[in-house]
Structure formats: structure tokens, C-alpha cells
Amino acid sequence: MGDKPQTAGLVLIGNELLTGKIRDANGPYLIAGLRRHGIDLAEVHIVSDDIEAIAEAVNLVRGRCDHCFTSGGIGPTHDDVTMEGVAAAFGVELEERGDLVEVVQAVFGTGESAEAWRKMAIVPTGTRLEFIGRHWPVYVVGNVYVLPGIPEIFRAQFDFVISSIEASPVESNVAYMKVGEGELTRPLTELAESYAGRVDFGSYPVLGHPDYSVKVTLDSRDPEALSEATQRLVDSFPAEALFELAERVEAGEA
């Protein structure tokens, strides 16, 4: 298994996500990206544009996970309060940073309407800036990456951040079973116990599919244990109980 896998948590910020005005696209992007890269996502929180709610969620995640990502709430308008929330989480003040004022002025100029954008130069004390070429920098506070909600920018910054994190990808097999969860429960429980910590088993009933009724997934960072556990699962049932076995399924497909 090697080293302990890296873990991450996500805090999605914005009233618009909770009212359904905007359907979040950053969560699915991050989930697929972490999976592909081999970082385990432990938890996701969706909170409103509320300083205390943001601070609480950030503190839960940064205390438990190696990496905390936030999405949203860093623009210039009144409902953008993520920086206040992150500062509150760390118990530090906000400060206007000269190096960020330069970035803001380079992008938005110095006219009257550009004045509002200066808010984006105000960050928690101790914020590190990670520059992606000539793009806007990524704000990093401790182990918290403060990313914007706009999907195009979120994606560029997220891809940049995870490319610098070393991790080891998970491999997956999927068994499409014709038997119901009732028949699966006992053998699956025994296998899950016997491979605890080495192979993760998941069981997902699918209603109304003509060919199978449960999708059983096996995840592991140990290829040998994965093969062996898969064989043992298949051997637990008569051949006609298995509709299909998909091996070494791509991250995001299983």
C-alpha cells in the first residue's frame, strides 16, 4: 500500500448553490480530478455566503484533511465574504497586499470602476500566492486553497494545485451482479472484513436495469489484493449470477 494516502476536503460557498440558482460544476470536477490523481476526498460541505458558516466548515476540513479546497465568494461584491471566513477560521486579520494591488491594477487598470476590484487584494495575513504563469495567483492559507467559483478559473487553478501534490491512484474493478443485495450481503460483508484497509467494497442497487440489479465496486491501491478479492467475490456466486466484470476501470468510470 505504501504511504498513507493524501486526503482532501471541499467547501463550496454560495447562496446560489443552496437556492439552485447555479448548479455547482466545481464539485464534480474536483471529485473526478482528485480520484484520477489518487487523492482521497473525505468530505464536502456546501455553505451560504456567511462568515461563520465558512469559518466552521474550513476549520472542520483543514483539521482533518491534508488539503482543503474552497470554491466561490472571492469576487468584489457584497456577497463575497470567503476571505473574511478563512481569516476567521485561522484567527488572523485581513490585510491589503501590495503585490496583489499590482496584479489588480495590471488586470483592471486604476479607473473608478477598477476601485471595487481592489477588494481582491485584501487577504488573510500569511496568505501565500502561487502564480500560474501570468494568470491570477492562487491564494493559499496554511493547507487551504481559496479558489474562485467561476468554473473556468476554478478548473485552471485546481489543475495547477493538484499537479504539485504527490499521490498514488486507486484501481477499480466493477462486478455487475444479477442477484439482489439480499443475496450479496453475507459474502460481501465477509470479504469486506477480510480485506479491511486493503480493498474497499461498495454495493449499489440499480432499479429497472434489464441486465443486472447491483453494481459491486472494488477499490484498492494494491493491485494484487484487488485481483485476489475480485476473484473471491466472483467465486462466491454461481457463474450465472455475474452479468459482467469490468477490470482496471478508469478513475471516474467506476
Residues that bind its own copies (CB under 8 A): 15-23, 28, 31-32, 35, 40-48, 53, 75-79, 108, 113-117, 119, 150, 152, 170, 179-186, 188-189, 192-193, 200-205, 207-208, 217, 219, 251-252, 254
Angle between helices 26-37 and 151-163 (to 10 degrees): 20
> Which of 92, 198 has the CB closer to its own copies?
198
User: Angle of helix 82-90 relative to helix 51-64, nearest 10 degrees?
Assistant: 50
Least distance from C-beta 14 to its own copies, angstroms?
8
Minimum distance of its own copies from residue 250's CB (angstroms)? 11
CB of 36 to its own copies, least distance (A): 9
| Residue 119: CB minimum distance to its own copies, A | 8
Helix (H) or strand (E) holding 173: strand 171-177
Nearer CB in complex with its own copies: 4/23 = 23
Separation between Cα atoms, residue 212 and residue 240, nearest integer Å: 11
Query: Which CA distances in Å does 232 have to 114, 176, 181, 198, 238?
Result: 64, 15, 17, 14, 12
Partnered with residue 1 across adjacent β-strands are none
Q: How far is the CB of 29 from its own copies (least distance, A)?
A: 10
In terms of CB distance, is 25 or 234 closer to its own copies? 25
Cβ nearer to its own copies, comparing 7 with 127: 7
Q: What span, in angstroms and rounded, lies between the C-alpha atoms of 187 and 238?
A: 13
Q: Tell the residue number behind the cell numbers 500500500, with chain if given.
A: 1
Q: Between 128 and 247, name the residue whose CB sits nearer to its own copies.
A: 247
Query: Among candidates 11, 7, 6, 40, which has minimal Cα distance to 146?
Result: 11
